[in-house]
Structure 1
Amino acid sequence: MTDNDPPKKANSSVRLVEVTEDQDGQRVDNFLLSRLKGVPKSRIYRLLRKGEVRVNKGRVKPETRLSCGDVVRIPPVRVSERPAIAGPGVGLQKLLQQSVVYEDDRVLVINKPAGLAVHGGSGINLGLIESLRAMHPQQHFLELVHRLDRDTSGCIMLAKKRSALRWLQDEMRNHRVTKEYTALVKGRWPADRRRIDVPLRKNELKSGERIVKVSADGKASATQFSVLQRFQRATLVKARLETGRTHQIRVHSQFAGHPLAGDSKYGDEEFNLYMKQAGLERMFLHASSLKFRLPDSEQVCAVEAELPPELATPLEQLK
């Protein structure tokens, strides 16, 4: 090891780890990744390929699903000590604590502030999920149920148990979760235009930027729209997702000829300037409500997140 190499620590003994109820159904490769922090993925897959990892004394493939009560043999592995990522500052912690709109022992719903990515990556060390995990180290399981764009504020669900994650994602796949957004769009949205149903295709530029376009060979996408309030040059609308494609509301609004206020990617430059003069400094898209069944229950939970001041104030200016 050279002076420039990261220090390593050796896990010198075999570990036998019993799979808990919350880990039931998890793939063995993901199970290992969560327990061998700092170990490259290639090393973990090599351990599986060589049979050094065993489940109930038998060899397994990376995609093998674990069951509650299974015993996983984890061999000794040298783990690189990586510099700890700084946790959320006091201001962000306070903001997130004040942003909880629903919580029980299985589900957490946060009114995510705009500008905060849901997870780290692409140059972002600290997102919503990393911040919440750092704030609640005693919470052994905490995962995003769905996503919100970085510039979108509002309701986002997290699961505090693996069983709750599976339940809620299954509910979403079967269209039993209602997600509604509040958006301000350019011009006068026609009252009778209640649904946009055009396929969307996602493209990634060399820079890594994602661009979504209406395309016949894209994925089926549908959004319901209804008018909430009209202004001289804009309309406040409610958008209900039938599908959950990347940038769906933004592109469907653009396709309808009524792009979102403050949208630098799909919006109208002149309209964005007009809204900036009214005090709008961000894209006007807010995940205003969620309605879902609680895990293993017929009880319906409905939550709402009020418009943040940076959206509510420009609306007052338009009046």
Structure 2
Amino acid sequence: MEKFINVLFDTEPVAWLVQFEGAVYFVVVFLILYFARLMYDMLTPFSLNDQLTSRDNKAVAVSFGGYMAGVLLVLLGVLQSGGVGNGQTPAHVDLIKDLLDTLIWGVIGVALLNIARLINDTFILRKFSVIKELTDDRNIGVGAVLWGGYLGSALIVQAAISGESNGWGMDIALSVLYFLIGQAGFILYAYIFQWQTRFDVHAEIERDNAAAGVSFGLSLLAVGILLAGYLHHYDSIPGFFVWLVISWFVLAVSRYLSDKWVLPGALLDEEIAQDGNWGAALVEGSIAVVIALLMIPVFLI
């Protein structure tokens, strides 16, 4: 009983919480977020501030929200895999080293996420101009796809830059390699998603069908969860492609079960394509995301 009371009133966690190191890391995180925003503005042909405030463009808001959330996911991975010192150097030296590592890998992560954005715009939403749909048409469906693509890509980037250090050169090379493999899996899944649906995904999204965008965006997030889950636990490239096939199959089955069991009485594709039912798309996509999360401990841990 006395031991239990001592645990309840232990003041050691308070001492950890009031240390200034946490505030310093927070400053670094905000610097990286500011850099990420500058990168977004620099690499897009429109003014983010103008679209979000003057034009009240919700499609850009959804897309940019996914981008910033993706940056935070990348930073979360950087912070969780950061060093804790070796006990042989002064604490302030370890802190400076960790802050530099966080800053450098944060910048690398932001750069990879922006490369993923360009890849997604070019290969996943390849049948129309993403910029035109976002700025001129204010297409929420396109914003939803980009939202899911950013988060899924961020999880892949997070997994690619995590793990034990093998030296700067090797770490960067392996991170880029796994990132590119993950993006290839993303692109291939986009073709598979089109193949398993009864409607033209790109045509529906282009005609401002938000339901099609929600369905596709959440599916991309589910794929990102699955691919990142593998990269967090294994390094084998052959194993990655086997996992890719398993992931595609399970997501296809989950979509079928959503159609037949969870949403009986109407075809899911008709609800999305003909009725624009984004509620049905949200249910279907949410199930895909949850199944992806469940597959990680079931198959990989």
TM-score with structure 1 setting the length: 0.23
Whichever of the two has the greater Rg, that structure is 1
- Structure with the higher helix share, 1 or 2: 2
TM-score with structure 2 setting the length: 0.24
Say which structure, 1 or 2, has more relative contact order (CA 8 Å, 6+ apart).
2
- Structure with the higher strand share, 1 or 2: 1
